[in-house]
Amino acid sequence: MNSDLPKVLHPVCGRPMVSHVLDALRSAGIPKPVVVIGEDGDQMERALGENYIYVRQEHQLGSGHAVMCARGAAEGKARNILVMCGDSPLFRVETIRSLMRGHQREQATITLVSAVLEDPGGYGRILRDERGRIIGIVEEKLADTRQRTIKEVNGGCYAFDAEWLWGSIDTMRRNHVAEYCLTEMVDIATAQGRRVTAVSAEPDEVLGVNTPAQLGAAERIMRARGMCA
């Protein structure tokens, strides 16, 4: 982002992008989520205030590791765990509610948000078998030629059966860049014959923010939705 400001504190419509994620969670019925913070944690806490449970991720070892760090604060507190990224501020409350309802209705081990994109470049692809069942997620840089033609992508928002998650998360292995990637939990669940399902989001909801250009795009989308003052 060419800035010393933590990425998730960059403003969208005048507020830190992570605040939009936390607002959506609150509106969906999760009033005090666990926020995993890194080396800029003090700055994060000052910016966001006291309404959250903060957990430190001392070493940046990937999305799966971030969830591992939250275990002490979340284990035994809920039957299901919802995981969202602080740099994905465009998810609608209705989509989060749909994720939660679908997860409970289907009694799934994992429910994820997916979207169909005309240009899926840069996103992990959802892998399905001949019966349409989710069997994995492949990151673009690891995808083969056929897999790169898949237009259904991973939105990076998940619901997990909590007992299964905490009982299985330590089986994750580090990937080719020595990180624990949360998408591996889908592989673990399907290998166990567990139920993995998806709910659909609109294409603009899954846009993550990693560059100034994407930050500008997120603001334009929110303005088009009438969400900016």
Q: Which is it for strands 134-138 and 125-128: parallel, antiparallel or unpaired?
A: antiparallel
Cβ neighbours for 59, distance < 8 A, ≥ 6 positions apart: 65
Helix, strand, or coil (residue 136): strand
Q: Measured between alpha carbons, how far is 180 from 199 in angstroms, rounded to an integer? A: 24
pLDDT at residue 139 in the model: 93
Q: What are the residue ranges spanned by the domains of the chain?
A: 7-224
pLDDT at residue 229 in the model: 73
Specify whether the CB–CB gap between 53 and 73 falls below 8 A.
yes
Alpha-carbon distances, residue 22 vs 68, 181, 204 (angstroms): 20, 22, 18
pLDDT at residue 1 in the model: 87
pLDDT at residue 2 in the model: 86
CATH no. of 7-224: 3.90.550.10
List of the chain residues with pLDDT < 70: none
Here the tokens at position 186 are 């889908």
